[in-house]
Amino acid sequence: MKKHKEILSRFGINKTQFRIDLLSIFFDCKSSLTTHEIFERFNKKINKVTIYRALKSFEQKGLIHQVPDKNNLKKYSLCNLDSCSPDSHNHQHGHFICYSCDQTFCLDDSTIKIIKTSSGHIVKNYNLILEGYCTDCNSSQTIFQN
């Protein structure tokens, strides 16, 4: 896809077939992926080392970022490509992980508001993981208030 090639160029990454496909997978999934999941999506036809190196490269160039995972695996999400670059990552969104179907959903900025931390720490970045039951697995609405 032409769009993906342009993005790779813009972020200074060589346009190999694998990296075009990898970016495409991130666009399709719109959430986070483990190296294992990526390996599976390529039907194990690609070397794992290649995946690890591509992910490291994508991350350094500001295309994807790591997301903490429940099982402590390396997991990556597509960045907001307008606000991330090799110089700085800026992520202001959360993820929702379903207990039942294990899917990960992206939550856009407006769903979450973090009012303040009074801890005295200097916050440079944040990452929010919500866990529970997704809309499909439990079709009711909730307002979560702390």
Partner DNA sequence: TAAGAAAACGCAAAAGTGTTGCGTTTATTA
Partner DNA sequence: TAATAAACGCAACACTTTTGCGTTTTCTTA
Buried residues in 48-66 as b, exposed as e (16+ CB within 10 A): eeebeebbebbbebbbbbe
Is the CB of 50 or the CB of 92 nearer to DNA? 50
Applying CB under 8 A, which of residues 18, 39, 42, 105 lies at the interface with its own copies? 105
| 14 near its own copies (CB under 8 A) | no
Task: With beta carbons less than 8 A apart as the criterion, state whether 103 and 64 touch.
Answer: no
Residues in binding contact with DNA, number by CB under 7 A: 24
Binding residue for DNA (CB under 7 A) from 24, 35, 90, 127? 35
Radius of gyration over every alpha carbon of the chain, rounded to an integer in angstroms: 17
For DNA, the binding residue among 6, 16, 40, 125 (CB under 7 A) is 16
> Segment 44-83, which members bind DNA (CB under 7 A)?
46-50, 52-54, 56-57, 72-74
- Please name the amino acid found at residue 97: I
Does residue 102 bind its own copies (CB under 8 A)? no
Total Cβ atoms within 10 A of residue 96: 19
Shortest Å distance, C-beta 67 to its own copies: 9
